[in-house]
Amino acid sequence: MLKKDKINFLIKALDKLYPKIPIPLNHNDPYTLLVAVLLSAQSTDVRVNKITSILFKEANDPKKMIKLGVNKIRKIIRPVGLSPTKSKAIYNLSKIIINDFKGEIPKNFTDLESLPGVGHKTASVVMSQAFGIPAFPVDTHIHRLMYRWGLSNGKNVVQTEKDAKRLFPKNKWNDLHLQIIWYGREYSPARGWKKEKDFITKKIGRKSL
């Protein structure tokens, strides 16, 4: 199957499977999304959503987060892991947002990635899900499936993102990155994978898998 045929099949299949696409991380605005995505590093969305329901009751904007303080933030977020680093990042980025961006989350990659604890993937999620600006955040599910589907070489997430942006229409990026994540979780997991249940990979995947 040619790559263009794979792409057309993928888009149609995922649109049919996920016509309404749920956002994995609970949030109310760009700031709470930014914090939630930062917390999700090396953790699960389920665990993060449990913790943010507690954290955001205490502090759901930069000013309240600063008042909460690093130690209190760290105590609340401890179950998600890496709490010493994440608590400092949340506190410091909140100060920067107040002092340098008038309390608003910046709407560009350069400024977002300048914030403590915010890498390219986190910035991409915020740009895509908070602001609707085309981006293609690559997580472990997308990285895995782009390789299984023969759409990327699987060497690193940077290359996977480049391949995804090159192959998929820009106006579909924001939907597709979420659709692929949900598909990966439900049909094509890293562990306990059964190709016969993974109908997309069975149709378009690498023959060697």
118, exposed or middle or buried, with CB in 10 Å at 0-12, 13-18, 19+?
buried
121 included as an active-site residue = yes
- Domains for the chain: give ranges and CATH numbers: 3-22+136-204 (1.10.1670.10), 30-130 (1.10.340.30)
How far is it, in rounded angstroms, from Cα 153 to Cα 161?
Answer: 11
> Would you say residue 19 has pLDDT above 80?
yes
What angle is formed at CA 74 by the lines to CA 69 and CA 76, rounded to 5 degrees?
100
User: Which one is catalytic: 6, 86, 121, 198?
Assistant: 121
User: Which one is catalytic: 139, 165, 195, 198?
Assistant: 139
How far is it, in rounded angstroms, from Cα 209 to Cα 206?
Answer: 6
Residue range 126-184, pLDDT digits in tens: 999 999 999 999 999 999 999 999 999 988 999 999 999 999 999 999 999 999 999 99
29 included as an active-site residue = no
What average pLDDT does range 88-98 have in this prediction?
A: 98
How far is it, in rounded angstroms, from Cα 125 to Cα 27?
Answer: 12
- The pLDDT of residue 207 is 79
Residue range 51-65, pLDDT digits in tens: 999 999 999 999 999
- The pLDDT of residue 155 is 87
* Other C-beta atoms lying within 10 Å of the C-beta of residue 1: 11
Q: What is the pTM of this model?
A: 0.93
Residue type, position 114, single letter: S
- How many helices (H) and strands (E) are present in the chain, helices listed first? 12, 0
User: Which residues touch 171 (CB under 8 Å, ≥6 apart)?
Assistant: 134
